[in-house]
A and B are shown apart, each in its own frame.
Chain A
Amino acid sequence: MSINRRNFLNIFLGTGFLGWVGSILYPLISYLIPPKVSEAKIQSVKAGIAADFPSNSGKIIKFGRKPVILIKTNKNKFVALSATCTHLDCIVRYRADTNQILCACHNGLYDLKGRNISGPPPRPLTAFNVNILNEEIIISKPSEMS
């Protein structure tokens, strides 16, 4: 009988203790998880006058909170790709001498279509749409992303 009472008290107090630990840990862990900051849904950004953009060069454009690389090829064609390297999150750059996109962090290479052609990147860069409207460059999200 006394053992049963002891068991009962152990379970009773043990459960209470676990509940107490949980009530301490839950707000603590919740506090450590950063809150989601609402982001304005950006569908397109303006990136300057097409004629002013030098040929065979690239530039990082702010697309909301994400970087996008805008490239004017040596044939004066515009290409926009996500600038975040698919390997480990670095920001890529345009290499004018080889007409490729390089991630300097781990020497990842992409071609002008964003395809990963050498080095560690596992996936291609996401392509963005580029339109010229009244001489102005407009970069917009690809349809499957919006």
Chain B
Amino acid sequence: MNKKSDDRLLNWLDERFNISPFLDFMKHKQVPIHKHSVWYYMGGVALFLFMVQVLTGILLLLYYQPGVDSSYESIRFIVTKVNFGWLIRSLHSWSANLLVLFIFIHMFSTFFTGAFKNPRELTWLSGFILLALALGFGFSGYLLPWNELAFFATKVGTDITGAVPLVGKAIKIFLRGSEDVTGGTLLRFYAFHVAIIPAIFTFVLSVHLLFIQRQGMHEPDFYKKLPREKQKTIAFFPDFFLKDILLWLIVLNILLFLAVFFPWDIGIKADPFASAPQGIRPEWYFMFMFQTLKLLPAHILFIEGEIVGVLMFGVGGVAWMLLPFWAGKINAQIRTRVLTTLGLLVVAFILVMTIIGYVM
């Protein structure tokens, strides 16, 4: 009976929208199964966490009031007075951090399995843009509670953009909404966080997912070399899809555990006329950059240390973004070794600097 009514609904839709090519595509799409298949799930987890962010973010919007005299107070109200407000706020913070973590894991797994190479250059590029936007989400959202840590982190973060040659000062004033970090900055960051970045992110994410669906899953070299009958696959729908959902449920449980047992702190309200407290630090995913700037001397040759640092990260970031366009030019015989070494060095640099940042 049910099957019949399902068929009737599908037929009804098919007559009007011609959805059968789409259904055929879903039915025939296969996902390779091999020793590195686990990495196929990381992007999906990031997607799930993004959906959690959208949902909890919308819920927070119902009570949050941006403004120097209301931001901190409204978050305190959400956490102390609103039913389950503490849970929603804590979920939003934890999920944000896990989202960035999983984007990083997804990115490095794509790197080390070589999935970024031809013909997936644009998938890598759109993924990099999503990473940059996620960092923008994190940076703008960090200021919204208007607490001491966030206030000084924003001062430092926006001042760094001022070190970019020629356009730096204009970018800094554009970001801050004035010369200094003020209530105007808070409003701007609020607009970035809830309107501008979500709109761009949703568009780029759609493109990213469309590319992946069009091209199918990347097959690593060792898998491609297997004889046809040994290349095991599972159907994307429903097999892979159900495994995805199962993992999302596990992640949701971990998220709830973290939000309930390690609720996010509100901190002390920002005072623009107070000394920066000890232990000022950005979110963990900016720590490696923050720590590098801390370790650079005041002057390197004739240039200010911070300018050298900003240029270094800028050039490194652009090179990383354009990776699929230059990696193919490396001599094929040593390519894998060169790229793996490079990737390990990048991971080691990020890890070491992050650890130093928290220990020192």
Contact = CB atoms under 8 A, between A and B. Distances in A.
Interface residues of A, number: 28
Contacts of B275: 60, 69, 83, 91-93, 104
B178 A120 contact: no
A62 B273 contact: yes
A105 B298 contact: no
A135 B285 CA distance: 51
B276 A104 contact: yes
A88 interface: yes
B-side interface size class: 20 to 34
Interface in A48-104: 60, 62, 65, 67, 69, 83, 85, 87-93, 103-104
Interface in A91-146: 91-93, 103-107, 116, 119-122
B305 A88 contact: no
Contacts of A37: 178
A40 interface: no
A124 to B, nearest CB: 11
Contacts of A104: 275-280
Contacts of B278: 104
A122 B162 CA distance: 14
Nearest to B180: A65
A32 interface: yes
B198 interface: no
A116 B180 contact: no
B184 interface: yes
Contacts of A69: 275
A33 interface: yes
Nearest to B295: A120
A120 B303 CA distance: 12
Nearest to A34: B177
A105 B152 contact: yes
B298 A103 contact: no
A90 B278 CA distance: 11
A83 B68 CA distance: 21
A13 B285 CA distance: 48
B173 A88 contact: no
Contacts of A34: 173-174, 176-178, 184
A89 B173 contact: no
B156 A120 contact: no
Of A62, A67, A89, A122, the most chain B CB neighbours within 10 A belong to A89
Contacts of B297: 120
B28 interface: no
A32 B306 contact: no
Contacts of A87: 298, 306
Contact of B305 (A62, A65, A89, A122): A122
Contacts of B274: 60, 91
Contact of B273 (A67, A90, A105, A121): A67
12 contacts: A33-B173, A37-B178, A67-B272, A67-B273, A89-B156, A103-B276, A104-B275, A104-B278, A105-B156, A107-B294, A120-B293, A122-B306
Interface of A: 32-34, 37, 60, 62, 65, 67, 69, 83, 85, 87-93, 103-107, 116, 119-122
